[in-house]
A and B are shown apart, each in its own frame.
Chain A
Amino acid sequence: AQKITQTQPGMFVQEKEAVTLDCTYDTSDPSYGLFWYKQPSSGEMIFLIYQGSYDQQNATEGRYSLNFQKARKSANLVISASQLGDSAMYFCAMRAAGGTSYGKLTFGQGTILTVHP
């Protein structure tokens, strides 16, 4: 079974500062994918970044980067130069390896990020 853990229920950051949102995972599958999604108060799920288990380099997408430490089974999200619009709930998720479950996502508990001006 796969498990995703986000231990920070809430995080606060000053505008223009960087912030790290923690995510650890557990799986017995050798192949897996890790995702981060942003969910603003409107409820929509916005894809931010993806890291494959065999990717050698950490993923980056604009101001988002994923600090992937495979041995520690962690996939922390780093947001640089925080903006007020970054205030939202953030979810870490893992995708099942394959077969009929391919595409199925298991989500962490989420972290509410608040950016202060």
Chain B
Amino acid sequence: GAVVSQHPSWVICKSGTSVKIECRSLDFQATTMFWYRQFPKQSLMLMATSNEGSKATYEQGVEKDKFLINHASLTLSTLTVTSAHPEDSSFYICSAKDRLPRNEQFFGPGTRLTVL
């Protein structure tokens, strides 16, 4: 199957700093990427949908100024957690789909963020 990478795989930062997480599709062009957040032993919650070349669409309750998403190319989307606080500590997972009407959606390995 297609490969999606995320970087970094884990990050620890101080409260008030910003953290950038990258999501890359390695062997296909991702017209759409999705960002999910998962708290321990809970389900994945969609944060936003990122379409290449346009503004991201955020789910209800997700602060767009807090979680900045950029999808500047067909292989890269970034999520920046601005002014991170301990409650932002979570597992962030991206997924990507290409132009084809595939039934499978390709997930990255996830990034574990810990805010001290």
Q: A residues touching B (Cβ–Cβ < 8 Å)?
A: 33, 35, 37, 42-45, 47, 50, 52, 89, 91, 95, 100-110, 112
Contact = CB atoms under 8 A, between A and B. Distances in A.
B110 to A, nearest CB: 4
Contacts, number: 59
A107 B46 CA distance: 9
A12 B98 CA distance: 37
B112 A103 contact: no
Nearest to A101: B49
Interface in B93-115: 93, 95, 97, 103-107, 109-110, 112
Contacts of B105: 35, 47, 95, 103, 105
A50 B1 CA distance: 14
B73 interface: no
Given A100-B49, A100-B57, A45 B107 contact: yes
Contact of B103 (A44, A52, A110): A52
A43 B46 contact: no
B44 interface: yes
Nearest to A100: B57
A10 to B, nearest CB: 10
A94 to B, nearest CB: 12
B13 to A, nearest CB: 19
Contacts of A91: 43-44
Given A45-B93, A100-B57, A107 B109 contact: no
B34 interface: yes
Given A43-B91, A43-B109, A102-B32, 14 more contacts: A42-B109, A43-B110, A45-B44, A47-B1, A47-B104, A47-B107, A52-B103, A91-B43, A100-B57, A101-B49, A103-B49, A103-B97, A105-B95, A109-B42
Given A43-B112, A50-B103, A105 B46 contact: yes
User: Which 8 residue pairs across A and B have the least CB separation, nearest first?
Assistant: A45-B107, A50-B103, A43-B110, A103-B97, A107-B43, A107-B44, A44-B109, A47-B104
